[in-house]
Each structure stands twice: as structure tokens, then as C-alpha cells.
Amino acid sequence: MTAQAVKGQLSGYQALIKEATGVADVDHIERIEDTMRNVIFHSTLSWQTREQLVQAAREALQIITLV
């Protein structure tokens, strides 16, 4: 669990993931974020547009739901 999640606050990316997917569980949000970084983009998220991040969050949710 991330330091921000421990404090009860989501990072900016995590808040976007929650908004895009409807997922509220922090552990699942973190798994989606990790999938976005390591499976979808193979990179950091900072250079992506908001639209790309939203789409990637939805794709990551589908990926981890299949596993």
C-alpha cells in the first residue's frame, strides 16, 4: 500500500483511476495503476494525456479482471 493510501488520500493517478473505473478499493486501484505502468504503457504515466490515462485505466481493469 502506498504512503498516500495509508493516509486515506489517493494520489492524482489513483483518483483518476477511481473516477474512470468506479473502483473504490485502494488495493485494486494500486493494481490497476501498476498494470497501466508495466503492461499497457511500459513506462511512467506522466507523459500521457488525461484521455489516454482514462482509457488505460479501463483497459487495465479488464486485464486484471481476466487474471
**Which 3-state string (H, E, C) describes 9-33?**
CCCHHHHHHHHHHCCCCHHHHHHHH
Q: What's 48's DSSP letter?
A: S
- What total number of domains does the chain contain? 1
What is the extent of the structural domain holding 61?
3-66
What per-residue confidence (pLDDT) applies to 6? 52
CA distance 57 to 67: 16
2: CB partners within 8 A, 6+ apart? 11, 14, 30
* pTM for the predicted model, two decimal places: 0.83
Q: What is the mean pLDDT of the chain?
A: 89
Among all chains, which residue has been given the C-alpha cell 492524482? Answer: 12
All three cell numbers of 49, joined, read 494525456
State yes or no: pLDDT of 62 exceeds 80.
yes
pLDDT of 7 higher than 90: no
pLDDT digit string (tens) for 17-42?
999 999 999 999 999 999 999 999 99
Mean pLDDT value across residues 57-65: 96
